[in-house]
Chains A and B, each alone.
Chain A
Amino acid sequence: IQPAMSRKQTPSEFLKQIIGRPVVVKLNSGVDYRGVLACLDGYMNIALEQTEEYVNGQLKNKYGDAFIRGNNVLYISTQKRRA
């Protein structure tokens, strides 16, 4: 899988490329959500599948599907898969 940032691109192109990948979504509150990115929109509203919620590094909750309101999102990052 080619890394998404192998060349210059706009943020919106990045967002299209990472759909379907496992991601880390960090919220302004510091809470972490890890899951597979189902889709997102220009407001950074996010739909995740197989979501896990981490608070202070600890796994707190699991959600089958999760919709996250974009204003809470600090960043969206891909997770490197470890072999």
Chain B
Amino acid sequence: MADDQEQQVPVQNVEEPLDLIRLSLDERIYVKMRNERELRGRLNAYDQHLNMILGDVEETVTTVEIDEETFEEIYKTTKRNIPMLFVRGDGVILVSPPMRTGT
């Protein structure tokens, strides 16, 4: 069946990744960011840049110290709570529903 015309079937039934984020609106999410930062909060708004408004947020910053004598890696985390936060999208790496802690 050789059709000379190109078939242009608009593929709108496949959702885009951003549509799947829309399903998480008003839900708690986990965000992995650059500079070893993680956020857990409620997604109030987002846009195509992944700019986000998060409510009731806990930020975790992870640092590694190297002991000069033993050369062991010491991982430290610093947490803080922020009631309402604007996140600039270019720092976002990954967005996911929150993990059940205890992995």
Q: Which residues of A contact B (CB under 8 A)?
A: 16, 19, 27, 29, 33, 38-41, 45-47, 51, 61-69, 71-72
Q: Is B96 a contact partner of A66 (Cβ separation < 8 A)?
A: yes
Specify which of B14, B50, B99 is in contact with A39 (CB 8 Å cutoff). B14
Q: How far, in whole Å, are A65 and B23 apart by their CA atoms in the complex?
A: 12
What residues of chain B lie closer than 8 Å to A62, measured between beta carbons? 99, 103
Q: Is A68 a contact partner of B103 (Cβ separation < 8 A)?
A: no
Closest CB in chain B relative to A54 CB, distance in Å: 13
What residues of chain A lie closer than 8 Å to B103, measured between beta carbons? 61-62
Chain A at the B interface: SS class: strand
Q: Does B85 contact A (CB under 8 A)?
A: no
Q: Does B61 contact A (CB under 8 A)?
A: no
- Mark each residue of chain B from 88 to 103: 1 if its CB lies under 8 Å from any CB of chain A, else 0: 0110111111010001
Q: Is B90 a contact partner of A67 (Cβ separation < 8 A)?
A: no
11 sampled A-B residue pairs with Cβ under 8 A:
A19-B14, A29-B93, A38-B17, A39-B20, A41-B16, A41-B18, A61-B103, A62-B99, A62-B103, A65-B96, A72-B93
Q: Does B45 contact A (CB under 8 A)?
A: no
The winner among B16, B89, B96 for most chain A CB atoms within 10 A is B96
Q: Which 9 A-B pairs have the closest CB atoms?
A: A47-B17, A67-B95, A45-B17, A63-B96, A66-B96, A41-B16, A47-B20, A69-B92, A72-B93
What residues of chain B lie closer than 8 Å to A67, measured between beta carbons? 17, 20-21, 94-96
